[in-house]
Structure 1
Amino acid sequence: MNLLSSRHNINVVTVSRRSQISYSDKSGSKIGSLISLTVTPCDKTPCALYKGHNSTITIEFNTSETVKNGRISVHGVLAHVPVPFPLDNSDLCQFVSPTCPLINSIPKYTHTYTMFVKTSYPSISLVVRWELKNSSDEDIVCVEFPAQLI
């Protein structure tokens, strides 16, 4: 008896919906400049943040001053009222590349933060305010973008 075996190759391709969205640079900072904002997954404005899934915020920026350490501050803005959004880890230096200290001779830094959107969050439209702050609590960059929790 002749047994034939076949080998099946399965290729899995992961496609990430990632695009630059409409956003506002709100910092007016003398410390840093916003280059770009990307939210993944997000392919249109307002950005759909899916409950029960991860969303990744990527901010490219530069700095005109040395920043030894800092923090990430996030708010959901509802009816012009900022509501703090606690992060599990808000240490800026752990989520920026190249890492701290941030110095002005490096032309671009990339801040990347992946967060889980809890299913307990209400399904609402809001503006997300994402701030990168130095140790004196001054904005390095502050960006706002429209979002919808789904």
Structure 2
Amino acid sequence: MQVAFGLLFLCLVICVNTLTPVEKCPKGKSLEDYKLTVKVGNCKKSSCRLKKGRLVVIEFRFTSDRNVKTLTNDVNAIIAGLPFPFIGVDQTPACDNMYEADGRTKSGCKLVTGQEYVYRFPIKILEIYPVIKVRVHWGLKADDGNYVMCFELPASIVT
């Protein structure tokens, strides 16, 4: 019985630790409202290490709170309180990165209220980025300019 309990506990710890701990963004709803799960590469703790020259896949699930026709990535690094856009990601269309709940079928940007979606975006941590601690802001803005979802996380760009 103790062995079974130990294995169950270990399984729970492993399953829980596959997600990246994120924080609410200032203009967003609570993370629970989105029912989202966020994965940032293989980061499993706060203050993710983003290695220069590497490709990091950002993935999360969320339930849309309204019908949406277009989505735009709103992605920046906040340094000393100032937002610096992630080159080639910020203000780009997010439609090609949207999938149905199965995570395989592309959905595009026609989101329906109450339906779950998966967003997946591979981002290259460019060599030109400085080695620095940052706060990453990642959001999806709808055609009305409001967030469909957003989160923030502490990170460090490293060599």
Q: Under a length normalisation based on structure 2, what TM-score does the superposition of the two structures give?
A: 0.74
Query: 1:116-150: per-residue Cα shift (whole Å, max 9, x none)?
Result: 11111110010100010101211111100111101
Matched AA of 1:123: V
Aligned counterparts of 1:149 and 1:86: Cα–Cα separation in 2 = 14
Q: Which structure has the highest strand share of the two?
A: 1
- Specify the code of the residue in structure 2 equivalent to 1:121: Y
Give the equivalent residue in structure 1 for 2:19: 20
Question: What TM-score comes out, normalization by structure 1 length?
Answer: 0.78
Among 82, 86, 104, the residue aligned to 2:113: 104
Contact preservation (8 Å) 2:69, 2:110: yes
Structure 1 moving runs of 4+ over 6 Å: none
- Mapped to 2, the partners of 1:120 and 1:41 lie a distance apart of 22
Q: Which residue of 2 aligns with 1:126?
A: 134
Partner residue in 2 for 1:95: 97
Is residue 63–residue 114 contact of structure 2 (8 Å, CA) maintained in 1?
Answer: no
Stretches of structure 1 that go unaligned for 5 or more consecutive residues are 1-17
CA separation of 1:34/1:71 partners in 2, compared to 1, >3 Å: closer, same or farther? farther
Listed as ranges, the matches of 1:4-83 within 5 Å are: 19-26=18-25, 27-28=28-29, 33-83=34-84
Shift of 1:113: 0.3
CA RMSD in angstroms, aligned pairs only:
1.9
State the one-letter code of the partner of 1:97. Y
CA distance in 1, matches of 2:34, 2:127: 34
Distance in 1, matches of 2:114 and 2:34, equals 14
Q: Distance in 2 between matches of 1:126 and 1:111?
A: 22
Structure of higher CA gyration radius? 1
Q: 1:36 to 1:67 in 2, by over 3 A?
A: same
Question: Could you list the runs of 5+ residues in structure 2 that have no partner in the other structure?
Answer: 1-16, 101-106
Aligned length: 130
